[in-house]
Amino acid sequence: MNKKVRVRFAPSPTGALHIGGVRTALFNYLFAKKHGGDFILRIEDTDQNRYVAGAEQYIIDALNWCGIPFDEGPSSSLDNNTVKEGDFGPYRQSERKDLYKQYADVLIASGNAYYAFDTSENLDFQRKDHEANGKTFIYNWHNRLKLSNSLSLSEAEVQAKLALGEQYVIRFKSPQDEKLILHDIIRGEIHIDTNILDDKVLFKSDGMPTYHLANIVDDHLMEISHVIRGEEWLPSLALHKQLYDALGWTAPEFAHLPLIMKPVGKGKLSKRDGEKLGFPVFPLSWNGSKGYREEGYFKEAVINFLAMLGWNPGTEQEIFSLSELVAAFSLERVNKSGARFDADKTKWYNQQYLQEKGDAELASLYLPIVQEKVLDCPLTDHPTIEKIVSLIKERAVFVSDFWELSDYFFIAPTSYNEKASKKQWKEGTSHILNQLVSLLGDISDFSSENVETTVKKWINDEELSFGKVMPPLRLVIVGDLKGPHIFDILEVIGKEESIARITKATTSLK
């Protein structure tokens, strides 16, 4: 690529950032870093009626948490006192509004745009009239001369309306009887008949541009080389390419990403799907809805599963670090068809990353949970928590699963699984376990390996079956027939606690 790669992620601050938006940001980031380029955040807030306070900061926080920070962006988004403003700001469209009118005027002067003074009532009448005749109203060459605009009015009439301050919009003049051939990196050639295009509004008399004009002007002035955005913008590609041509600018390359689809059925993944099926659709919590961070997902897992939604590395590899994603990513391997969201697969990814993390790191994450659950317990030191984590983590998907998998380390069972008790506690079991108490009391080296060797030798010497000893022992130590290697559990809780639990059970279980 001869031109420096500059891509942008341009969300509107109208609410929480959906994971579909995060994936768009991610693909832009991966492409930029793959080619040594810049990843820009631009806040498209021209629609002030839909602006939501806090949404911009949410977007910034989400990108930073995901580990895909932008190189340039709004000046208020300071990260560790590092200014993100580049040479192409401001990065909020509301702060750039003085730029857009001049380009709208250029389009009018070149005959590629025109003033339209139609009232909303008149346009509504036109739509209903067309519907009554089985037609669809399109504001373009079919009927623009029958409507109130600078193409149907005289120059004097137009100037008079402007002088009186009548409300107007500036519309793009879509050409008649032309065939457009557009190129999309993901979808290839796209052919468009201009006769079906409507004359989109570019600018309003309140001084604000619509998305279409602001988007094109900003991308040009910010020297954006590639526009990587969601499939929902594909219908706008024809207009945007025509605007570039009309302004005499070289258009960037375009790539339209496939939708993230519902887990079941058809349609785009929505917040309601997450609420109904019990999974997050936001990276961070928003207005009572938990995000992936709050649900206990690792950011690396979120990035990994999002990358695989619509992109195929061409290999069997599924686990990628961010640097590996950068190295492997290409737009040519992005799928055209939508990617079905699989909530179980997202959990699988988190489990893989959990297993890869060191026990010390996981212990640091688990320790606050333990300290909240048990106020006074000798096992809440970091080395012990680290040992416990090493024994139970392979069964966990989230760090929050650790407590259910290990609570018996910290709290002696107060009851025993009823079904297991009926099956394992037989006549003579209490006597056998009382003998075991005596044996354990004489062991000075209470390591897992030594205790196991000693107990197994005793079982063989006493000609007992392992079935008469081991399941009941697990039951009285854990409260159930679950958990890791029983002798590892005994080592962690210690001799005194092990004997206390066995003794208590032999008096309560009959």
As annotated, the active-site residues are 271
Cα–Cα distance measured from residue 217 to residue 23, given in angstroms and rounded to the nearest whole number: 24
Parallel/antiparallel/unpaired status of strands 260-261 and 339-340: parallel
Give CA separation, 244 vs 53, 313, 485, in Å: 33, 33, 68
In the sheet that holds 253-257, the strands lie side by side as 188-193, 179-184, 253-257, 226-230
Cross-strand pairs, 334:
311
323 SS3 class: helix
CA angle 496, 473, 423 (to 5 degrees): 150
Residue 87 has, within 13 A of its CA and on its CB side, a CA count of 4
What is the distance between the alpha carbons of residues 26 and 63, in angstroms, rounded to a whole number?
9
Radius of gyration in angstroms for the set of CA atoms belonging to the chain, rounded to a whole number: 33
Query: Helix/strand/coil (H, E, C) string of 438-465?
Result: HHHHCCCCCCHHHHHHHHHHHHHHCCCC
Closest CA to 92 of 234, 245, 208, 4: 208
3-class secondary structure, 73: coil
Cβ–Cβ under 8 Å, residues 379 and 388: yes
DSSP letter (8 states) at residue 278: T
Question: Are the CB atoms for 105 and 114 separated by under 8 Å?
Answer: no
Beta strands in 238-311 (DSSP E): 253-257, 260-261
- Token pair, residue 84, equals 């993100």
CA distance 256 to 20: 13
In sequence order, the β-bridge partners of residue 169 are 116, 204
Distance between CA atoms of 155 and 91, rounded to whole angstroms? 37
The strand pairing partners of 203, in sequence order, are 170, 209
Tokens representing 437 are 């108490």
Sign of CA dihedral 185, 187, 192, 196: negative
17 and 64 Cβ atoms separated by less than 8 Å: no
Which residue type, as a one-letter code, is found at position 264? V
Euclidean distance between CA atoms 291 and 494, whole angstroms:
39
Q: Enumerate the β-bridge partners of residue 417.
A: none
- E strands of 295-417, at which residues? 339-340
Which DSSP helix (H) or strand (E) runs through 217?
helix 211-221
Tell me how crowded residue 261 is: count the other CB atoms within 10 A of its CB: 19
